[in-house]
Amino acid sequence: MKKNILKISSMKIFGLLSSLLSLAIVAFPAKAVNIGLEYGENIGLGNNNPIEMTTNIINLVLGLLGLIAVIIILIGGFKWMTAGGNEDKVGESKKMITQGLIGLVIILAAWGIASWVISIIADTTGTSVV
């Protein structure tokens, strides 16, 4: 008997929550359109367009990854210089430099592809990219 009561009440709770969620999904975007720009400016987000923000984020992330790749190459070079003729350490450092260079090429290719795609999207939508 208790299981049936719990089952019925849990079904009612689930139905109530799903109804509220569906109302929230329908009602909140309309309200967000009206106050979104004012609220964004009040908290310091600015009013940049999404393409410009995406470009900035991609440039930041790929820039950090490029910095990491260059640091890996420098660490590999330092290990090679301090190997003291040990072939195992020299081989390990060569492998590290090679991996850093491959990573750098991949990062540069990703930046080129992302810039190309963003420029096509900007041209299609008629917006400008910085």
87 and 35 inside one domain: no
Largest distance between two CA atoms of the chain: 81
31 and 58 inside one domain: no
CA–CA distance from 34 to each of 51, 53, 82, 107, 130 (Å)?
21, 21, 63, 39, 27
| 6 within a domain of the structure (yes/no) | yes
| 130 within a domain of the structure (yes/no) | no
What tens digit of pLDDT does each residue of 56-110 get?
Answer: 889 999 999 999 999 999 999 999 999 988 999 999 999 999 999 999 999 999 9
What range does the domain containing 69 cover?
Answer: 50-125
d(CA 68, CA 106): 13
pLDDT of 20 reads 56
23 and 54 inside one domain: no
65 and 116 inside one domain: yes
What tens digit of pLDDT does each residue of 43-57 get?
Answer: 666 666 778 888 888
56 and 120 inside one domain: yes
Confidence of residue 14 (pLDDT cuts 50, 70, 90): low
pLDDT of 110 reads 95
74 and 17 inside one domain: no
Evaluate whether 104 touches 71 at the Cβ level (below 8 Å). no
Query: pTM higher than 0.75 for the full model?
Result: no
pLDDT of 32 reads 47
Domain count, the chain: 2
